[in-house]
Structure 1
Amino acid sequence: MKEVTVNQLVFKKSLSIIEQMKLKDFMFKWLDRPEEGIDDILPLEYTQSVFAKMETPSDTNFMTEGDETLRYVTLTEDNQIVIGVLDANDELKFRILYLEDY
């Protein structure tokens, strides 16, 4: 696995509809295919501030493993999936995966 720091990542400035749907599909699979559907348990909104991302609404506090709060999911120019979460100390942490793996 290649290790990179977040300052080495180049985020996409915009996401196509297909990329947005792929990110939603990825999150659906990442959450073990919930019966309710991704939009019911984790509504993601497309935003383009600083970089393009599928972001959780401000009134949504979706908790992931390890008491982390999901903030957004996005793509880099190298088609890496970047998941931004807040840890218990409200520090932004990242998980980086490759879209081709999912």
Structure 2
Amino acid sequence: MNTITVDKLTFKKKLSMIEQFAIKDFLFKWVGRPAEGIDEFLPLEYTECVFAKMEAIQEKAFVINGNEHFRYATITEANQMVIGFLDWNNELKHRVLSLDEVLIGKHF
């Protein structure tokens, strides 16, 4: 997984239903296949503000890597899966996931 600056990415303006389901499926596997399902464990909302994304509902904070807060997942124009998160300094960062991470649902 690579951390990258947002100026190097071009996000899609709209996500198809298939792309939205693919993101939710990846996140379901990524968080360890919770018994209650992804919608209860990590509720997401599809938004198209600035670009299309599956955004975490603010009331439910999901922490990754100890001190980073998951914000959203999306897909670039080059069909790369990207995770947006706030770091320990509340700075928005992005990670481009490898094909193995997307297909296998590896944790990071």
Give the TM-score of the pair, scaled to structure 1.
0.88
**Bigger relative contact order, structure 1 or 2, given CA contacts below 8 A and separation 6+?**
2
Q: Which moved more, 1:10-19 or 1:31-40?
A: 31-40
Distance 1:38 1:48, change over 3 A: same
Secondary structure at the residue paired with 1:51?
Answer: coil
Partner letter of residue 87 of structure 2? D
Matched, 1:36 2:46: no
Aligned length, in residue pairs = 102
Divergent runs of 4+, >6 A: none
1:5 CA displacement: 4.0
Find the aligned partners of 1:41 and 1:73 in 2 and give their Cα distance: 15
Give the TM-score of the pair, scaled to structure 2.
0.84
Partner letter of residue 81 of structure 1? M
Partner letter of residue 42 of structure 1? L
- Structure 2: gaps spanning 5 or more residues: 104-108
Q: Which moved more, 1:2-11 or 1:35-44?
A: 2-11
Q: Does structure 2 conserve the Cα–Cα contact (< 8 Å) formed by 1:79 and 1:98?
A: no
Could you say what the CA RMSD is over the residues aligned between the two structures, in angstroms?
A: 2.0
Partner letter of residue 57 of structure 2? P
Distance 1:64 1:5, change over 3 A: closer
Residue identity (%): 57
